[in-house]
């Protein structure tokens, strides 16, 4: 049986983990919106504006975005499950130790950071591609 001080510490730790998990869920929703936007940008804008040489690159970037989105969905499922476990703990329906929630939270945090890194790399590739497209367009308009 826990003392009152231990219970308060336990609840504070769980609350911090719960808030961090909510933040991750918001980040994952943001990634979902961004991925959809970038896919539309690639298919509707870049594909129409480029020479055939760049089409393969656009398709590769689109595939990477699809992979990132699949990873995002898996992390989102894990984060929602984690959120449910935390809520069950708050309601007294489960009796896990704080370490269980801390480890799960750290794992999700690492996965979200990795996802963010992959996403930034793809955005950088899109930026580089847009520079090439703009320079091609400028060359065509100057000729």
**Domain ranges for the chain:** 4-142
Place of tokens 């719960």: 18
* Residues in the chain, total: 143
Cβ neighbour number for residue 38 with a 10 Å cutoff: 21
Whole-number pLDDT of residue 92: 84
- Whether residue 21 contacts residue 83, with contact meaning beta carbons closer than 8 Å, is answered with yes
Give the pLDDT of the chain (143 residues) as one tens digit per residue.
Answer: 667 777 788 889 999 999 999 999 999 999 999 999 998 888 877 766 665 666 778 888 889 999 999 999 999 999 999 999 999 998 888 888 888 999 999 999 999 999 999 999 999 998 888 888 778 777 777 76
């Amino acid at each position: 049986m826990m003392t009152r001080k231990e219970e308060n510490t336990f609840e504070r730790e769980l609350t911090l983990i719960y808030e961090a998990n909510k933040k991750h869920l918001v980040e994952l929703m943001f990634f979902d919106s961004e991925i959809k936007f970038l896919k539309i940008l690639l298919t509707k804008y870049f594909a129409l504006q480029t020479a055939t040489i760049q089409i393969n690159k656009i398709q590769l970037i689109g595939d990477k975005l699809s992979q990132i989105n699949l990873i995002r969905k898996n992390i989102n499922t894990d984060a929602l499950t984690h959120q449910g476990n935390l809520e069950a703990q708050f309601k007294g329906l489960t009796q896990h130790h704080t370490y269980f929630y801390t480890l799960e939270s750290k794992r999700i945090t690492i996965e979200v950071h990795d996802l963010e890194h992959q996403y930034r790399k793809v955005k950088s590739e899109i930026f580089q591609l847009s520079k090439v497209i703009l320079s091609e367009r400028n060359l065509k308009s100057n000729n």
